[in-house]
């Protein structure tokens, strides 16, 4: 530095220019995702607080590609923020909910075991009601600008429950059907068609157990299609309303039940096992929450190459997967850094790449600049991968009370 | 009834005879003694005759009981009783049930069987011992019960593997006489393995000395 | 005289408390919640609401029926087969026949199925006998003309038969081993010779003489098997039906329901399950006593005729079938672990891949490390504690023996799911959660009883005269006693240790709940991946889980031989 002052002005300027451009160059050749704008003081504080921590992200561990993606996220955040990510593999999200609940019961209000949890729907409702969540914090994230946070946008409502800034979306879910196109040439596109199809192909259709999220969703999908007045579903369910709204559903279900797999006496435990049955050839129609499920399954050898997606012509239920931070998390700042990273367009594009994960991004494309939009456009495609337009309209999720009642009523009617 | 052994020997895994093959016969009511140095195979011989040989051994020769060849017959069909050094009364049964176990099935109904067991107890001078547990009996008493149990099964021959070695001199004498009396009464051939010359003397029957087969090799 | 025993008495009490206390605490918490007291949810008042909720669950009676049927049928079948198998091992008349020559192989056949965790066997079996499973694939389509799997209920059938089958396959080797160890205490050979010389056939002699003496020695392990069969979660999930499932699964579903209010009926279900165990054990004992009485009557009648040929034929065919199915289940997991794609009706995978094994080398060390550390420490500790316990009892003179045995085995006689959640909350209160230390303690709760179970018979059967001789030769110090006792008991000690390793590796709920997800083990990883139904991964993890105990057993069986060989040189 001292020697710099000995040189002439021109040399000084060129040296400074060189160093600045080198600095810029090094920034550009850095990891995939780089924060492009300078952080606000508040965000800088978060970055400083979170540096050096390990975030324990409790997430369902049943899909290898998701697990690999989470590992990749951890590698990137380590480079960017010196924050490591440790995935705690769950068989069911409720395991994390009960963990935090138990900690609250024991009075452990700091240093909780769960830093971040992949969550939505009933689990989110449970945590929100029990005041187990930290926040609201979504607005604090710089990358929240890429989200469509207008009222009633998918990112602000989780199964009719207001998100209220308590959870960050990270991947899109749509209820879709998967068929083996070799065996099913004309897919049934409505519940009525499904009944005819089931009668013609007995034992080739089933749904997961109703206590499982996917099983309830199938019933909800059928309810939306068959109920006389759809707007009622957005209100909490009253006894009378429930009876009238679900009457056609139960009629249809009574008609289809004898033609289900195992004559409707037993059901697969979850969607993964159902997809495995499809692969085995035991059934012809399976379900998934991920529109990329068929392509991903083919790529990982779990589904036959002829697997294809279809959605009912009326549209299908859609929801968003979120991450939330418990109120007593040990590493809140670091968790926010990871959540923010998930919203980075480059991250979402990486996730949407069918060779990596294939889940659809939750970002609002109108917020992209040209380069970012190009990244998305350049993503590889596959025959088994539908485009967003292929998926048709998204149906609104009914109020949570409908799910609860559906489950109860189904159990009462059809348990042996 | 008689028990005849011809060129009878036990062969081990390596194909060698344990002892020089024996030939002898025991007549009804006779008590024969088999003697020999320790480890020569007296117990093995008795096991071979009774049919209890382990799979490590093979039999050579012939064994005839009452004009029927029983060399390779199954144990349950041979009707050859055996008594070991330990009385081995079944610990989960009472004395009476132990005896009842020995009693043949076709003998009468419950009342009659009970009677027979009581009679056997009387003979052994153990009246009123029906409900006692074997562990509460003395060594001598247990031996007597064991003997009666074997006899109640109405065996066609009886083998005894040093049954008195754990008893004191007086008891030994009493038991021996008791045994010989019973054998003579029921007219069954008895083979007694022992290393007490006094036993052989009292038995007054055929004496078999077992010689180790490899004695020449030494 | 008693004063000198006080320190030892205290030690026994301390040991007992550390085993008994967690169970009592856990059950206590569950009991409180079942009657409406759960502060975390804002419930502070006593109420029986939870019980009403539980009773109103649809299909509860069917669940009860299913649980009782599968639990009892599996235990009875496994026990009969184990006893029958033991009689076959002791049958000297099978000398040179084919069956006789198989005897040395018994250990080899038992060990893999014994070492493999329950979940692994269940998944393998489920694939083996499913309508789209391996057995059907072998015979399709050339024999059966099927290009699509038939809609049969061979797995997850409503009667629970496949669950019963899975339980039998897994419990049979354990009970067989237990029988063989117990039989060493009875003078089997001589008693069988005696009985047969009295005219009884081998099987009849076995039934009337050996079994009544054997049963009191194996009573406790049989109880443990019964409790497991009635309260298993992982096997029921994979092989049992789910509409309605077994009671243990109903409890599990309530505990994991997103609606936190369900924790109360969940606790009620947990307490019901615990009470069901008590009732079942009593019922079992009553039936056994009844059978023993019938046996006594038939002994008095002196019948020599063998009326059991039908049962005998069933058992003789069922025994090898059970082992073949068990080994095939493990084999099919191995095949899946190197498969890429395997479609119906191919008899073998369509395409292969070693990717998953290679991936394992880079990704897993932590879970493997955790499992190994936990297993080694908990089984080592358990072994030490067991030896101390038994030695102290020996010096005490076995007064409390029977009583203390029952409360050592308490953690095995109470369903895990009934008390682990309550225990977790208590641990949290003490600030003891999420560390590998507490996980080891939680494992110790279950490993210690098994280690004791497998060690106690051999220990007690040790000829005391060896020790008398040693003492008379001047060695009255502890170390010499240890040298003699422990070297004489080397084999049983190592086998007990191997069993401890196997039990620790297969623990799922303890690691999950007490470790708060911070301690991942081979089993937690495997089960969470099994929920994704990727059979290839499950194949890899299932095999890994079985590998560690297998290595432990091999050590246990080979080390003593190596030691004696060294001595002989």
Chains touching chain A at 3 or more Cβ pairs under 8 angstroms?
Answer: C
Map residue C181 onto helix, strand or coil: helix
Question: Which residue of C43, C64, C516 is the best one to mutate when testing the A interface, meaning the one whose CB has the most A CBs within 10 A?
Answer: C516
Q: What is the DSSP letter of A229?
A: -
Query: Range with the lowest mean pLDDT among A239-248, C57-66, C348-357?
Result: C348-357
CB atoms within 10 A of CB C128: 21
Contact between chain C and chain A (3 or more Cβ pairs less than 8 Å apart): yes
* Residues A224 and A268 both lie in one domain: yes
Asked whether residue A186 falls in the same domain as residue A314, the answer is: yes
Q: Quick one: A182 and A209 in the same domain? A: yes
Q: What percent of chain A has pLDDT over 70?
A: 91
Scanning C515-534 for CB atoms below 8 A from A yields 516-518, 520, 524-525, 527-534
Q: Are residues A82 and A183 in the same domain?
A: no
Helices (H), A316-399: 332-342, 345-352, 370-377
Contact C198 B107 (CB under 8 A): no
Pairing of strands A176-180, A394-395: unpaired
Q: In the predicted model, what is the mean pLDDT of residues C451-477?
A: 74
Please tell me whether residues A249 and A292 are part of one structural domain. yes
CB-count exposure of residue A167 (10 Å: 0-12, 13-18, 19+): buried
Looking at residue C79, its pLDDT comes to: 96
Stretch 74-103 of chain C: residues touching chain B, C-beta under 8 Å:
92-96, 100
Q: What's chain C's average pLDDT?
A: 82
pLDDT at C306 (0 to 100)? 65
| Pair A226, A191: CB distance under 8 Å | yes
Q: Where are the domains of chain C?
A: 1-33+355-569, 54-353
Output C335-339 pairs: Cβ under 8 A, ≥24 positions apart: C335/C539, C336/C127, C336/C535, C336/C536, C336/C538, C336/C539, C337/C536, C337/C539, C337/C540, C337/C542, C337/C543, C338/C536, C338/C539, C339/C535, C339/C536, C339/C539
pLDDT at B182: 85
The nearest alpha carbon in chain C to B153 belongs to C198
CA-based nearest residue to C157, from C235, C231, C240, C237: C240
pLDDT above 90 as % of chain C? 20
Mean pLDDT of B194-212: 84
- Please report, rounded to a whole number, the percentage of residues in chain B having pLDDT higher than 90: 8
Of B47, B82, B100, the CB nearest to C302: B100
Q: What is the ipTM of this complex?
A: 0.85
The whole-number pLDDT of residue C400 equals 58
Residue B10 has pLDDT above 60, yes or no: yes
Chain C residues with CB-CB distance to A96 below 8 A: 517
| Three-class SS state of A91 | coil
Same structural domain for residues A220 and A278? yes
* Interval A40-49 mean pLDDT: 88
Report the pLDDT value the prediction gives residue A336, as an integer from 0 to 100.
Answer: 94
B and A touch per CB criterion (3+ pairs under 8 A) = no
Domains and CATH numbers, chain B: 3-92+158-215 (3.40.50.300)
- DSSP code at position A38: P
Using alpha carbons, list the distances in angstroms from residue C405 to C365, C393, C448. Answer: 38, 11, 12
Beta-carbon separation of B104 and C95 below 8 A: no
- Is pLDDT of A23 > 50? no
Residue A388 resides in a domain: no
**What confidence tier does C476 reach under pLDDT thresholds 50, 70, 90?**
low
For residue C525, give the nearest of A89, A96, A300 by CB distance: A89
Give the span between the Cα atoms of B5 and B37, in whole angstroms: 21
| Residues forming beta bridges with residue B63, ordered by sequence position | B5
Tokens of C478: 């502890």
Q: Please state whether beta strands B58-65 and B3-11 pair in parallel, antiparallel, or not at all (unpaired).
A: antiparallel
User: Does residue A298 sit within a domain?
Assistant: yes
| pLDDT tens track for C279-321 | 999 999 999 999 999 988 888 877 776 666 777 788 888 888 9
In which band, very low, low, confident or very high, does the pLDDT at C481 lie, cut at 50, 70 and 90?
low
Torsion sign across C-alpha atoms C38, C42, C45, C46 = negative
Beta carbons of C356 and C544 less than 8 angstroms apart:
no
Give residue A20's pLDDT band: very low, low, confident or very high (50, 70, 90). Answer: very low
- Give chain A's count of helices (H) and strands (E): 14, 11
Classified as helix, coil or strand, C190 is helix
How many C-beta neighbours within 10 Å does residue C168 have? 26
Q: Which pLDDT score is estimated for A21?
A: 46
The residue behind tokens 């084919």 is C98
Pairing of strands B22-26, A167-174: unpaired
Residue C17 C-alpha, separation from nearest chain A C-alpha, in angstroms: 23
pLDDT given at position C531: 60
The model's pLDDT over C248-286, given as tens digits with 9 standing for 90+, comes to 989 988 887 767 788 889 889 999 999 999 999 999 999
Sign of CA dihedral A296, A300, A301, A305: positive
Per the CB < 8 A criterion, the answer to whether B156 and B80 are in contact is yes
Within 13 Å and on the Cβ side, how many CA atoms surround C347? Answer: 7
Three-state SS string over C401-420 comes to HHHHHHHHCHHHHCCHHHHH
Buried b (16+ CB within 10 A) or exposed e, B113-140: bbebbbebbebbebeebbebebeebeeb
Residue C187 with chain B: CB contacts under 8 Å? 86, 88
CATH number of C1-33+355-569: 1.10.3720.10
Chain segment A293-332, per-residue pLDDT in tens: 898 888 888 888 899 999 999 888 888 889 999 999 999 9
Q: Where are the beta strands (DSSP E) in A84-198?
A: 84-90, 116-119, 157-158, 161-162, 167-174, 176-180
pLDDT at residue A118, rounded to an integer? 94
Q: Are residues A48 and A136 in the same domain?
A: yes
- Count CB neighbours of C99 within 10 A: 13
Q: How far is CA A162 from the centre of its chain?
A: 17
Q: Which of A192-196, A247-251, B176-180 has the lowest mean pLDDT?
A: B176-180
Question: Per-residue pLDDT averaged across A31-52, rounded?
Answer: 75
pTM over 0.90: no
Q: Report chain B residues whose CB lies below 8 A from the CB of C92.
A: 52-55
Structure tokens at C564: 């004696």
CA–CA gap between residue B194 and residue B200 (Å, rounded)? 8
> Containing H/E element for C178?
helix C161-183
C123 touches chain A (CB under 8 A): no
Two structure tokens written together for C269: 């279900």
Mean pLDDT of C10-19: 72
A311 vs A324: CA distance, rounded Å: 29
State how far the Cα of C72 lies from the Cα of C168, in Å rounded to an integer. Answer: 11
Q: Are C258 and A121 in contact (CB under 8 A)?
A: yes
- The pLDDT score that the predictor gives to residue A86 is 92
Q: Is residue A14, in this structure, part of any structural domain at all?
A: no
Report the candidate in B162, B210, B154 with the shortest Cα–Cα distance to residue B186: B154
Do A98 and A138 reside in the same domain of the chain?
A: yes
What's the pLDDT score for residue B21?
87
DSSP annotation of A324 reads E
Return the residue in A65, A261, A262 with the most chain C beta carbons within 10 A, the one to mutate for interface testing: A262
Report CA Rg, chain C. Answer: 25
How crowded is the C-beta side of C357, counted as CA atoms within 13 Å?
Answer: 13
pLDDT at position B217 is: 41
- As a whole number of angstroms, the distance between CA C560 and CA C557 comes to 7
- The pLDDT of residue A250 is above 50: yes
- What is the structure's pLDDT at B125? 85
Identify which of B53, B105, B150 has the shortest CB distance to residue C303. Answer: B105
Number of domains in chain A: 2
Q: At what angle do helices C106-115 and C161-183 cross, to 10 degrees?
A: 130
Residue A133 belongs to some domain of the structure: yes
Q: Under DSSP, is residue A177 helix (H, G, I), strand (E, B) or coil?
A: strand
Any domain includes A215: yes
Residue A377, in any domain of the structure: yes
pLDDT beyond 70 at C227: yes
How many angstroms separate the CA atoms of C428 and A99, rounded?
10
Mean pLDDT of C515-524: 77
Rg (CA), chain B: 18
Residue B90 and residue C202: Cβ atoms within 8 Å?
no
CATH of the domain at A303: 3.40.190.10
Question: Are residues A155 and A191 both part of a single domain?
Answer: no
Is A281 close to C151, i.e. CB distance below 8 A? no
Structure tokens at A45: 């504080």
Confidence category of residue C529, pLDDT binned at 50, 70, 90: low
**Span of A155-159, A188-192, C92-96 with lowest mean pLDDT:** C92-96
Statement to judge: residues A210 and A123 lie in one domain: no
Q: What is the mean pLDDT of residues A267-287?
A: 89
Q: What was the pLDDT predicted at C3?
A: 53
Specify the residue for token string 């196997």. Answer: C502
Q: Average pLDDT for residues B70-83, to the nearest whole number? A: 86
- Higher pLDDT: A146 or C343? It is A146
| B113–C301 CB contact, under 8 Å | yes
Query: Are A340 and A198 in a shared domain?
Result: no
Mean pLDDT of chain B: 85
Q: Which domain holds residue A217?
A: 176-318+395-414
Q: Which CATH number fits domain C54-353: 1.10.3720.10, 3.10.150.10, 3.30.750.24, 1.20.140.10?
A: 1.10.3720.10
Residues in chain B: 218
Query: Which pLDDT score, from 0 to 100, does residue A4 have?
Result: 42
Report whether pLDDT(A5) > 70. Answer: no
Q: Do A100 and A230 lie in a common domain?
A: no
pLDDT digits (tens, 9 = 90+) for C370-413: 899 999 999 999 999 888 888 777 766 655 556 667 777 888 88
- Residue in the structure block whose two tokens are 């539980």: C54
Tell whether A367 is covered by a domain: yes
Cα–Cα distance for residue pair C15/B218, rounded to 1 Å: 60
What's the mean pLDDT in B52-69? 85
Q: Say which residues have a Cβ less than 8 Å from residue A379's Cβ, sequence separation at least 6.
A: A349, A352, A353, A354
């Amino acid at each position: 530095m001292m020697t710099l002052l000995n040189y002439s002005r021109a040399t000084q300027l060129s040296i400074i220019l060189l160093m600045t451009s080198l600095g810029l160059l090094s920034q550009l050749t850095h990891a995939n995702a780089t924060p492009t704008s300078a952080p606000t003081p508040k965000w800088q504080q978060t970055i400083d607080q979170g540096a050096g921590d390990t975030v324990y992200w409790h997430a369902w561990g049943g899909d290898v590609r998701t697990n690999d993606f989470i590992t990749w996220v951890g590698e990137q955040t380590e480079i960017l923020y010196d924050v490591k990510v440790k995935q705690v593999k769950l068989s069911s999200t409720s395991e994390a909910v009960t963990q935090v609940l138990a900690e609250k019961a024991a009075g452990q209000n700091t240093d909780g075991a769960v830093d971040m949890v992949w969550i939505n729907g009933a689990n989110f409702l449970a945590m929100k009601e029990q005041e187990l969540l930290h926040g609201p914090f979504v607005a604090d994230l710089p990358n929240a600008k890429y989200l469509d946070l207008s009222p009633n946008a998918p990112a602000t409502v989780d199964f009719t429950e207001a998100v209220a800034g308590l959870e960050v979306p990270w991947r899109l879910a749509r209820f879709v059907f998967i068929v083996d196109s070799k065996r099913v040439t004309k897919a049934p596109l409505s519940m009525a068609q499904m009944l005819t199809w089931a009668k013609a192909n007995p034992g080739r259709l089933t749904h997961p157990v109703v206590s499982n999220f996917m099983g309830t969703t199938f019933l909800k999908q059928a309810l939306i299609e068959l109920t006389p007045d759809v707007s009622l579903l957005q209100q909490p369910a009253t006894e009378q309303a429930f009876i009238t709204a679900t009457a056609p559903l139960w009629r249809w279900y009574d008609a289809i039940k004898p033609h289900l797999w195992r004559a409707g006496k037993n059901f697969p435990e979850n969607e993964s096992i159902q997809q495995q049955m499809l692969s085995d050839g035991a059934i012809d129609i399976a379900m998934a929450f991920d529109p990329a499920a068929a392509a991903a399954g083919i790529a990982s050898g779990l589904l036959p190459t002829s697997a294809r997606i279809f959605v009912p012509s009326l549209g299908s239920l859609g929801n968003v997967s979120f991450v939330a931070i418990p109120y007593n998390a040990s590493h809140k700042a670091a968790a926010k850094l990871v959540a923010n990273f998930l919203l980075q367009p480059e991250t979402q594009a990486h996730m949407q790449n069918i060779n990596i994960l294939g889940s659809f991004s939750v970002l609002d494309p109108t917020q992209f600049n040209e380069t970012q939009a190009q990244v998305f456009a350049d993503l590889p495609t596959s025959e088994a991968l539908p485009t967003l337009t292929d998926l048709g309209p998204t149906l609104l999720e009914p109020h949570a009370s409908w799910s609860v009642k559906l489950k109860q009523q189904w159990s009462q009617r059809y348990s042996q | 009834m008689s028990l005849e052994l011809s060129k009878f020997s036990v062969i081990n895994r390596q194909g060698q005879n344990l002892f020089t093959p024996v030939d002898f016969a025991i007549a009804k009511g006779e008590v024969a003694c088999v003697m020999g140095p320790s480890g020569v195979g007296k117990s093995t011989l008795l096991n071979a005759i009774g049919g209890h040989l382990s799979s490590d051994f093979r039999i050579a020769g012939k064994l005839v009981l009452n004009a029927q060849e029983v060399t390779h017959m199954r144990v349950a069909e041979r009707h050859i009783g055996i008594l070991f050094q330990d009385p081995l009364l079944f610990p989960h049964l009472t004395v009476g049930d132990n005896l009842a176990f020995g009693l043949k099935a076709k003998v009468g109904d419950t009342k009659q069987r009970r009677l027979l067991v009581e009679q056997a107890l009387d003979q052994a001078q153990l009246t009123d011992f029906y409900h006692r547990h074997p562990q509460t009996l003395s060594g001598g008493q247990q031996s007597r019960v064991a003997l009666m149990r074997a006899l109640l099964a109405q065996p066609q021959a009886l083998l005894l593997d040093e049954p008195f070695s754990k008893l004191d001199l007086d008891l030994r004498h009493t038991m021996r006489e008791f045994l010989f009396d019973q054998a003579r009464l029921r007219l069954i051939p008895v083979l007694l393995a022992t290393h007490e010359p006094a036993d052989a003397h009292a038995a007054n029957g055929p004496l078999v000395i077992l010689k180790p087969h490899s004695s020449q090799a030494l | 005289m008693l004063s000198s025993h006080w320190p030892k008495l205290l030690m026994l009490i301390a040991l007992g408390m550390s085993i008994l206390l967690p169970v009592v605490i856990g059950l206590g918490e569950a009991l409180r919640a079942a009657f409406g007291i759960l502060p975390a949810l804002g419930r502070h008042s006593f109420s029986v609401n939870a019980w009403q909720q539980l009773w109103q669950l649809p299909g509860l009676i069917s669940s009860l029926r299913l649980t009782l049927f599968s639990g009892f049928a599996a235990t009875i079948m496994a026990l009969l087969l184990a006893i029958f198998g033991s009689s076959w091992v002791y049958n000297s008349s099978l000398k040179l026949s084919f069956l006789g020559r198989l005897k040395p192989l018994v250990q080899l056949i038992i060990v893999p199925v014994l070492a493999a965790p329950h979940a692994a066997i269940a998944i393998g079996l489920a694939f083996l006998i499913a309508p789209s499973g391996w057995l059907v694939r072998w015979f399709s389509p050339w024999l059966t003309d099927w290009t699509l799997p038939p809609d049969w209920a061979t797995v997850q059938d409503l009667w629970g038969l496949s669950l019963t089958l899975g339980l039998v396959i897994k419990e049979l080797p354990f009970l067989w081993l237990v029988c063989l160890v117990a039989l060493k205490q009875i003078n089997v050979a001589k008693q069988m010779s005696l009985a047969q010389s009295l005219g009884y056939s081998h099987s009849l002699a076995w039934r009337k003489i050996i079994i009544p003496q054997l049963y009191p020695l194996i009573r406790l392990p049989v109880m443990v098997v019964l409790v497991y069969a009635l309260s298993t979660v992982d096997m029921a999930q994979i092989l049992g039906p789910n509409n309605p499932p077994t009671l243990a699964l109903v409890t599990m579903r309530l505990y994991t329901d997103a609606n936190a209010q369900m924790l109360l009926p969940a606790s009620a279900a947990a307490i019901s399950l615990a009470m069901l165990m008590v009732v079942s054990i009593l019922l079992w004992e009553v039936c056994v006593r009844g059978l023993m009485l019938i046996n006594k009557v038939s002994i008095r009648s002196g019948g020599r005729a063998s009326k059991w040929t039908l049962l005998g034929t069933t058992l003789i065919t069922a025994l090898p079938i059970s082992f073949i199915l068990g080994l095939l289940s493990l084999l099919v997991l191995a095949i899946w672990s190197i498969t890429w794609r395997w479609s119906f009706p191919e008899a073998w995978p369509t395409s292969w891949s070693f990717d998953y094994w290679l991936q394992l080398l880079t990704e897993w060390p932590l879970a493997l490390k955790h499992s190994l550390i936990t297993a080694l420490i908990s089984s080592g500790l358990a072994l030490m504690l067991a030896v101390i316990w038994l030695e102290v009892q020996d010096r005490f003179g076995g007064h409390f023996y029977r009583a203390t045995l029952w409360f050592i085995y308490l953690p095995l006689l109470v369903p895990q799911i009934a008390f682990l959640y309550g225990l977790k909350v208590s641990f949290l209160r003490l600030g003891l959660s999420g560390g590998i230390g507490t996980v080891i303690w939680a494992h110790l709760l279950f490993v210690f009883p098994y280690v004791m179970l497998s060690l106690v018979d051999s220990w007690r059967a040790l000829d005391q005269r060896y020790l008398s001789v040693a003492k008379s030769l001047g060695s009255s110090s502890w170390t010499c006693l240890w040298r003699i006792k422990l070297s004489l008991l080397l084999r049983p000690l190592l086998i007990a240790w191997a069993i401890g390793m196997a039990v620790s590796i297969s623990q799922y709920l303890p690691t999950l709940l007490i470790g708060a997800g911070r301690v991942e083990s081979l089993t937690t990883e495997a089960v969470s991946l099994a929920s994704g139904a990727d059979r290839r991964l499950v194949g890899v993890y299932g095999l890994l889980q079985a590998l560690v105990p297998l290595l432990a057993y091999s050590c246990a069986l080979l080390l003593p031989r190596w030691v004696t060989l060294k001595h002989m040189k």
